[in-house]
Amino acid sequence: MCDTLAALKNSTSDGSAILAKNSDREPNEGHGLFFFPGRRHEPGEKVKCTYVDVPQVEETYATLLSAPHWMFGCEMGANEYGVAIGNEAVFTKEPERDTGLLGMDMMRLALERSKTATEALETIVSLLDTYGQGGVCGFEDKKMKYHNSYVIADLRQAWVLETADKFWIAEEIQDVRTISNCLTIESHYDKIHPGLIDHAVKKGYCSSKSDFNFRKCFTARILDKRTWGGKGLARHAYTTRALKDLKGSIDVSQMMRILRSHNLKNEPVQESWDPSKGSMASICIHSKPLTVPTQTTSSYVGHLLPELQVHWFTGTAAPCTSLFKPVSIEAGLPDLVPAPKGHHDGKSLWWRHERLHRKILQDYPSRIKIIRQDQQDFESKYLRRVLQIQSDVKAGKLSSNKMEALRQVTKEAFEEAQKLESKWLSRVEEQSIQKRPGFFYRRFWERINRRAEIP
């Protein structure tokens, strides 16, 4: 389960476009950060996606992706032209097929092949029509299949694209917009699959075009617990309300704060909040027995300005325990080898942090306090540094040293983050547990840790 938020230039504090997303997946599903430079390709080349191969295009653009380790596609990402995309699992009345392109595959292909948000939308729609969407979407859960919705943004325009099997519908974003694990487009739309309404009438989802409402027609029936149990409607309502309340002053730090929300009725960061008593009705999701099978495995805030696009990634699980670090397409990523897999390795960015994250979960209300001030200081520091770089680029002061300045700030942020997390882990391990979670919660995480081979 995931949440994606977008704010256009008429709603942000600095005239930027901002896209933010939490990727919620299985607890041991290592999530990596990847940079792929632009390339030209030979005629006849194929792209090996997760389950199917597709013809390669003549040129692919540089991309920065946050992705589960086992698939071709990504959960969120951006490209050199300032196009950024996040997707959601949605559950509809239409069949979930055994093979095809994953929604995450289509997102990566769209980023590699599109210079604008509209081009990206058209790329996904074309891929959907040609190959369909299908295949297992889970890492350990081999029954997990779903359809997809997307927020697709660039500096000037943004779209919500929602799908039900081969059918699709799109709405242009006017100011702020969010999506979650539920269909959100109703009777108003700007683009539509030519056969969608006729199909809805034929299936008895509605009686006529005047009666058509995509969300009501195509949302999975109430017996399908994934939409209702996933609390997508509640999370969508919360993120929508949060952005509307902030409209005109939305910035990167506020998006980070929303991604760290736990209790949808209270302020985003609640120090007394306990993940062992949490639910799917959180933006920052933590796994627990029976009712919450996933956790937030990576988080992203894309800050899109004409002079410079900076992408803030955690690359680690649970934004409440993580640090957002600045990355740009021009400078790329520091060396993050090895990429994480589905078991603990002790060396990858994701698994190094996961030891800390799971130690904090053993006594969240007291242990989260150990990291909170350092976390705030770190992000404030690098937000100021990036703001200065953006200001200098806009003023023409970094015309020849722009890439070096970006590379340096990214390098220092990742290095400092690693040192901070090592310090936090030592302090967390030194602090005795003050309030131990319940028996079933502890057993649940013990089993997950054994599967991950965490020492």
Q: Are 311 and 332 in contact (CB under 8 A)?
A: no
* Res. 398: pLDDT tops 80: no
Cα(23)–Cα(86) distance, integer angstroms: 9
Would you give the DSSP letter of residue 222?
A: T
* Res. 236: pLDDT tops 70: yes
* Res. 226: pLDDT tops 90: no
* Res. 439: pLDDT tops 60: yes
Q: Are 176 and 243 in contact (CB under 8 A)?
A: yes
Q: Which of 43-52, 168-177, 260-269, 294-303 has the lowest mean pLDDT?
A: 260-269
* Res. 269: pLDDT tops 60: no
Instruction: Provide, rounded to the nearest whole percent, the portion of the chain with pLDDT above 70.
Output: 98
What is the CATH code of the structural domain delimited by 3-342?
Answer: 3.60.60.10
- Please give the pLDDT value at position 250: 98
Cα(377)–Cα(259) distance, integer angstroms: 18
Find, among 34, 28, 5, 10, the residue nearest to 454 by Cα.
Answer: 28
The structure tokens listed for 264 are 């949808």
- The pLDDT tens digits for 328-342 are 999 999 999 999 999
Burial 53-82 (b: 16+ CB within 10 A, else e): ebebeeebbbbbbbbbbebbbbbbbbbbbb
- Single-letter code of the amino acid located at 99: T
- Please give the pLDDT value at position 119: 98
What are the two backbone dihedrals, phi and then psi, of residue 183, each rounded to the nearest 5 degrees? Answer: -75, 145
- The pLDDT tens digits for 118-141 are 999 999 999 999 999 999 999 999
Cα(48)–Cα(33) distance, integer angstroms: 19
- Please give the pLDDT value at position 1: 77
Cα(124)–Cα(47) distance, integer angstroms: 15
- The pLDDT tens digits for 357-397 are 999 999 999 999 999 999 999 999 999 999 999 999 888 88
Strand order in the sheet with 31-36: 31-36, 63-68, 76-79, 84-90, 147-153, 158-164, 167-172, 191-192
- The model's confidence at residue 156, banded by pLDDT at 50, 70 and 90, is very high
Name the average pLDDT for the chain.
95
Burial of 235 (0-12, 13-18, 19+ CB in 10 A): buried
The structure tokens listed for 229 are 């149990």
- The pLDDT tens digits for 276-313 are 988 888 999 999 998 999 999 999 999 999 989 999 99
- Please give the pLDDT value at position 223: 62
- Please give the pLDDT value at position 16: 97
Q: Which of 62-76, 141-155, 388-402 has the lowest mean pLDDT?
A: 388-402
Cα(310)–Cα(318) distance, integer angstroms: 21
- The pLDDT tens digits for 20-54 are 999 999 999 999 999 999 999 999 999 999 999 99
- Please give the pLDDT value at position 268: 47
- The model's confidence at residue 418, banded by pLDDT at 50, 70 and 90, is very high
* Res. 164: pLDDT tops 80: yes
- Please give the pLDDT value at position 306: 94
* Region 438-443 average pLDDT: 96
Q: Is 119 helix (H, G, I), strand (E, B) or coil?
A: helix
Residues serving a catalytic function are 2
Cα(133)–Cα(148) distance, integer angstroms: 9
* Res. 97: pLDDT tops 90: yes
